[in-house]
Amino acid sequence: MTSPFSTRVILGVESSCDDTSMALLRGHKLLGQVDVAQLVHAQYGGVVPELASRAHQLHIAPILEALFEKTGLGWDDVDAIAYTRGPGLHGSLLVGSAWARSAAWARGIPLLPVHHMRAHILAHWIEHDTLAISGTSSIQSAPGLPAMGLTVSGGHTQLVRIDSPWAMEVVGTTLDDAAGEAFDKVAKWIGLPYPGGPEIDRRAASGDASAYTFSKPSVGGLDFSFSGLKTSVLNTLRKAIDRDGPLVDADIDNVCASLQKTIVEILVEQLERAAEKHGCKSIAIQGGVSANSGLRKAVLELGKKQGWSVHIPPMLCCTDNGAMIAMTGQFMAEKDQWGRLDDAPLARWPGF
């Protein structure tokens, strides 16, 4: 393909878990994005894979129609289709990837099969007018390199050394659960709706973060562990309920504030250690949990304390989104990393 980076229009398709999202990007510039979050899972307290793939199937065509309507563009403007090849839920990936590969075949345009975790990081390279509200000051928040990235989502907690949009290395990871899972599990135990992370964030604002002390894991190096923290929360809550009776609203706010403080401290301590070890003067957070207000604040404070630049994506690029898939596609197109029509989804896709 011959279009240069700045004028190339890429359609990004994301369907790795429970968000169906499509976006159009010209160069770095986000032209529009349409997403549907699947509410069907709330009643089960977690993502039900079979229901997720059915919902993707239902939403995928109407989303494209809405996106074309929103941006005033059509198929003739699209130079390539980038889609999430993995990692993720197999059935969910299958819907997006089969759709993208069929559309590419029907339209005769090339494909870019994207690694979802790499895409979360490349969200920082997206230009968007609302970026100024994210706590950073410019239209584009691409970090200076090398940067230390902290990717925190429902399935992953990773520290990633970013040397360029094409060269990244995972230098720390969770040995068990992800940070988002810890938020979601505790939320479920205390009766909050799924997904629990945003609800805990909201309730934490009215709670006392010193009301409960939860034990932090002692993990060597740059790795994380959240399963011990979950057990500590469970034991603490059981004891409190045995002693004082069922949790009332104020107790729940306090649990949320204490949990959020503990998770944020664990994440930020490791981010600081990793950036120091790798001599990075820029730090970046991304993934669903990067929407957390406590984490955003703590990372900004860390940057101020150390004199590092801080990069936080706008809210619409924190949780799973089509824009980050299209952005990754732009960089892949630059290196001629085209996909094939018979590329199967990769539910597990280790490394970058």
Give min distance, CB of 153 to Zn ion, in A. Answer: 4
Spell out the residues 6+ positions from residue 39 whose beta carbon is closer than 8 angstroms to its own: none
Q: Are 347 and 93 in contact (CB under 8 A)?
A: yes
Nearer to ligand KG4, 30 or 318 (CB): 318
Does 253 bind ligand KG4 (CB under 6 A)? Our answer is: no
* Geometric angle at alpha carbon 120, from 115 and 123, rounded to 5°: 120
Binding to ligand KG4 in span 4-33, by CB under 6 A: 17
Does 201 bind Zn ion (CB under 5 A)? Our answer is: no
Give min distance, CB of 315 to ligand KG4, in A. Answer: 9
Q: 58-64 long-range contacts, Cβ below 8 Å, gap at least 24?
A: 59/20, 60/13, 60/15, 60/20, 60/22, 60/95, 60/96, 60/99, 61/99, 63/20, 63/21, 63/22, 63/34, 63/35, 63/36, 64/11, 64/22
Binding to ligand KG4 in span 304-333, by CB under 6 A: 319-320
Task: Compute the residue count for the chain.
Answer: 352
Instruction: Determine the 3-state secondary structure of 253 from DSSP.
Output: helix
Nearer to ligand KG4, 182 or 332 (CB): 182
Q: Which does 195 bind (CB under 5 to 8 A by kind): Zn ion, ligand KG4, none?
A: ligand KG4
Does 151 bind Zn ion (CB under 5 A)? Our answer is: no
Binding segment for ligand KG4 (CB under 6 A), chosen from 6-14, 121-129, 130-138, 190-198, is 190-198
Does 320 bind Zn ion (CB under 5 A)? Our answer is: yes
Nearer to Zn ion, 8 or 156 (CB): 156
Q: Are 212 and 257 in contact (CB under 8 A)?
A: no
Residues that bind ligand KG4 (CB under 6 A): 17, 153-155, 180, 183-184, 195-198, 201, 287-289, 291-292, 319-320
